[in-house]
């Protein structure tokens, strides 16, 4: 056993496709590490996953990984139409990297996952799959969207079952990290939120990470799957969405007037990460994808 | 063990004895600037005296103490040894205070907390701070970092190393205006080179590595700290035989304790937090169970209190229970910047 030289160990990152988000994340989603995105439904988790799967195909000089990606989805159906839409705008803005008849969607391998045991089965088959992919475009990104769906219904609320559930978390996380290390992959996992009822913050009054409490759509929430899963991921990002009422100055024919408009405010927070300080930024979702907004 | 045996000039010897330094061990933990001030000599002279003293100490065999049992030490000698051991600073003065100067060598310290509280940050800070040279009050040793979770980010270690060197230069500028020789020649790259980084992916690898450390440490005698981040990750999976897990864990803890004592280094184990199911409620406890909690010498729990990060001495044979605030900044672990911080003694 020899120690690795730290000077040769550079952590590669995969760009998110937006320079503002990349700046927040110090380059993008890191390789050899599990990054978790926590949000309620409709906040943009799948958008980021799709966007990342496309941008991973960019050459390394442009922040990508020059790689194909493995997309494991647990919620049905897979958003093929949205992927095609994003693909079109991705191709038009990065036309010089791809030959004319090339379809970036060919390099995203989609697999549906039904239960946690199914996921473990798939991961044992992933090893040879990634090994073989080295001949064409190697797989360097694994996306699991979402991990919460696998565990929400199969387990009762008794201590024995919860213990079994958390040992499954560690098993899955351990396998993912071993894969990530062996092939230098970036792993992106999405998670859902549960409502927080009661005066305490977090489950049992427990605070995890930089934010005292996570707010979205005017509710207090916390990430699903609890403390055990929080120990299994390396970094956690939180997407919040809120409806804000803002004043907008409008010039109308009879002079200036102001309207109160409801606007969707979306923010990305760093909850915890070993290399990132506490920070947040606003973003928006357009037809072309998910982009940060500089205010 | 006596001053009069040192090859120094008679006037220096006289000054040492009249200031109260009668044995070599009393010179072992003093810095050259303090010695210069006490003896009223120049710093370079004090430096020379300390160098000569450490040479004599190194070449001397401890046959002065006769022991009844082979290998046993009298408590008096042990006290002297303990006083001469240095501590590894955490870069936060409040934290160092409750730790009695810093992380102790020859002991196993367990540090646990929720995700995001700063365990990996503290681990990296300690791996960097152990390399602070003797002239600045550090151990001048190397570090072994065993990463089981993949949380170690090189760029963050580089940031912390840079900040450490900057702090040393500041210290140099303020306190040693006349002493030109001690310029900081360290670069962040040198600090990173002195951290031996191992990445392991299963519990069998973890055990194999810890068994291998014996050989590694005999080849690299200047390693002064072993950081394991985290010691519990691979043991929280399904073990069909829980008794096997307990046996494996205690074997590992015993090995680490042996390494700490034999090679005079500090062992820092980072642990996770889990919920314990008691009769009525859920309580937070460090992972790996009750039998593991007996194996470490010191136990520190990191937790949130309002908006502040706190460290609490949960178990220690020599330190009293206390808690102190600290913060994680871009430069690493530092004192908490809030003005109403206080060290609570229990």
Q: How far is CA B157 from the centre of its chain?
A: 17
Nearest-neighbour CA in chain A from B3: distance (Å)? 43
Partners of residue A13 in chain B, C-beta under 8 Å: none
Q: How confident is the model at residue B339 (pLDDT cuts 50, 70, 90)?
A: low
Pick from A7, A208, A212: which is nearest to B114 by CB?
A208
**CB–CB of B153 and A30 under 8 A?**
yes
Give pTM, 2 decimals: 0.84
Tell me what pLDDT residue B183 has: 60
**What is the CATH number assigned to the segment(s) A3-293?**
3.40.50.300
Contact B31, B137 (CB under 8 A): yes
Q: Can you read off the two tokens belonging to residue B5? A: 């045996």
**CB–CB of B116 and A210 under 8 A?**
yes
**CB–CB of A34 and B150 under 8 A?**
yes
Nearest-neighbour CA in chain A from B12: distance (Å)? 46
Tens digits of residue pLDDT in B111-160: 999 999 999 999 999 999 999 988 888 888 999 999 999 999 999 999 99
In the predicted structure, residue A25 carries a pLDDT above the cut 80: yes
End-to-end CA distance of chain B: 40
**CB–CB of A159 and B277 under 8 A?**
yes
Tens digits of residue pLDDT in B164-191: 998 888 877 776 655 555 566 788 899 9
Contact B184, B169 (CB under 8 A): yes
**Token match 């040992």: residue?**
A167
Burial category of A272 from C-beta neighbours within 10 Å (exposed 0-12, middle 13-18, buried 19 and up): buried
Bridge partners (DSSP) listed for residue B225: B143, B266
Tell me what pLDDT residue B70 has: 59
Tell me what pLDDT residue B52 has: 77
Exposure class string for A168-178: b at 16+ Cβ within 10 A, else e? bbbbbbbbbbb
Contact B226, B146 (CB under 8 A): yes
**CB–CB of B233 and A231 under 8 A?**
yes
Task: Report how far apart, in Å, the C-alpha atoms of B216 and of each of B180, B210, B308, B339 are.
Answer: 37, 10, 39, 45
Exposure class string for B129-159: b at 16+ Cβ within 10 A, else e? bbbbeebbbbbebbbbbbbbbbbbbbebbbb
> What domains does chain B contain, in order, with CATH numbers?
9-57 (1.10.150), 78-335 (3.40.50.300)
Does residue B282 belong to the interface with chain A, where contact is any CB pair within 8 Å?
Answer: yes
Pick from B196, B234, B275: which is nearest to A174 by CB?
B234
* DSSP class of B294: T
**Token match 């005296």: residue?**
B49
Tens digits of residue pLDDT in B191-250: 999 999 999 999 899 999 999 999 999 999 999 999 999 898 988 887 778 888 888 999
Q: C-alpha angle A209/A16/B152, rounded to 5°? A: 45
**CB–CB of A180 and B277 under 8 A?**
no
Partners of residue A277 in chain B, C-beta under 8 Å: 330
Of B265, B226, B233, which Cα lies nearest the Cα of B145?
B226
Share of chain A above pLDDT 70, in %: 94
In the predicted structure, residue B346 carries a pLDDT above the cut 60: no
Share of chain A above pLDDT 90, in %: 47
**B residues 157-186 lying closer than 8 A (beta carbon) to A:** 157
Contact B169, B250 (CB under 8 A): no
**CB–CB of A208 and B237 under 8 A?**
no
């Amino acid at each position: 056993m020899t120690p690795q030289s730290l000077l040769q160990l550079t952590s590669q990152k995969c760009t998110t496709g937006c320079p503002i988000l990349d700046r927040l994340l110090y380059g993008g989603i890191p390789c050899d590490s599990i990054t978790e995105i926590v949000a309620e439904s409709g906040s943009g988790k799948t958008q980021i996953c799709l966007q990342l799967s496309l941008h991973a195909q960019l050459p390394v000089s442009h922040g990508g990984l020059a790689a194909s990606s493995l997309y494991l989805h647990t919620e049905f159906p897979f958003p093929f139409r949205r992927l095609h839409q994003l693909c079109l705008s991705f191709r038009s803005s990065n036309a010089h990297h791809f030959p004319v008849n090339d379809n970036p969607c060919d390099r995203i391998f989609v697999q549906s996952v039904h239960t946690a045991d199914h996921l473990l089965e798939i991961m044992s088959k992933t090893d040879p799959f990634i090994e073989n992919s080295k001949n064409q475009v190697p797989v360097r990104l694994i996306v699991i969207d979402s991990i919460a769906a696998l565990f929400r219904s199969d387990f009762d609320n008794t201590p024995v079952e919860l213990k079994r559930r958390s040992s499954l978390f560690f098993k899955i996380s351990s396998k993912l990290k071993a894969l990530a290390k062996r092939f230098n992959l970036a792993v992106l996992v999405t998670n859902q939120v549960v409502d927080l009822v009661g005066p305490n913050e977090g489950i049992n009054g427990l605070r995890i990470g930089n934010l005292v409490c996570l707010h979205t759509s005017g509710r207090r929430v916390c990430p699903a799957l609890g403390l055990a899963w929080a120990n299994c991921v390396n970094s956690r990002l939180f997407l919040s969405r809120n409806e804000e009422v803002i004043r907008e100055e409008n010039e109308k024919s009879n002079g200036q007037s102001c309207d109160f408009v409801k606007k969707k405010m979306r923010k990305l927070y760093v909850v915890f990460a070993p290399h990132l300080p506490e920070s947040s930024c606003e973003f928006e979702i357009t037809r072309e994808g998910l982009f940060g907004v500089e205010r | 063990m006596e001053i009069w045996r040192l090859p120094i000039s008679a006037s220096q010897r006289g000054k040492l004895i009249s200031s109260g330094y009668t044995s070599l061990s009393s010179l072992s933990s003093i810095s050259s600037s303090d010695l210069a001030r006490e003896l009223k000599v120049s710093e370079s002279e004090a430096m020379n005296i300390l160098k000569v003293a450490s040479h004599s100490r190194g070449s001397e065999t401890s046959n002065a103490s006769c022991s009844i049992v082979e290998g046993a030490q009298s408590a008096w000698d042990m006290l002297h040894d303990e006083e001469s051991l240095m501590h590894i600073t955490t870069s936060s003065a409040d934290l160092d205070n409750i730790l009695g100067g810093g992380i102790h060598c020859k002991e196993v310290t367990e540090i646990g907390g929720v995700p995001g509280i700063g365990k990996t940050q503290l681990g990296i800070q300690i791996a960097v701070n152990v390399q602070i040279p003797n002239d600045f009050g550090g151990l001048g040793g190397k570090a072994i970092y065993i990463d089981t979770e993949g949380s170690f980010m090189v760029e963050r270690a580089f940031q912390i190393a840079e900040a450490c060197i900057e702090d040393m230069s500041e210290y140099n500028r303020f306190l040693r205006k006349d002493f030109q020789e001690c310029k900081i020649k360290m670069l962040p790259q040198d600090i990173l080179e002195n951290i031996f980084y191992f990445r392991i992916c299963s519990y069998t690898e973890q055990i194999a590595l810890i068994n291998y450390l014996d050989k590694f440490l005999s080849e690299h005698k200047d390693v002064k700290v072993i950081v394991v981040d985290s010691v519990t990750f691979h043991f929280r999976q399904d073990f069909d035989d829980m008794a096997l897990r307990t046996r494996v864990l205690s074997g590992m803890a015993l090995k680490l304790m042996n390494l700490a004592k034999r090679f005079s280094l500090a062992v820092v184990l980072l642990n996770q937090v889990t919920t314990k199911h008691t009769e009525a409620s859920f309580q937070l406890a460090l992972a790996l169970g009750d039998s593991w909690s007996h194996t470490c010498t010191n136990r520190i729990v990191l937790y949130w209190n309002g908006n502040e990060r706190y460290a609490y001495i949960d178990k220690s044979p020599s330190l009293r229970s206390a808690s102190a605030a600290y913060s994680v900044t871009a430069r690493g672990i530092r004192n908490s910047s809030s003005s109403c911080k206080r060290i609570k003694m229990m």
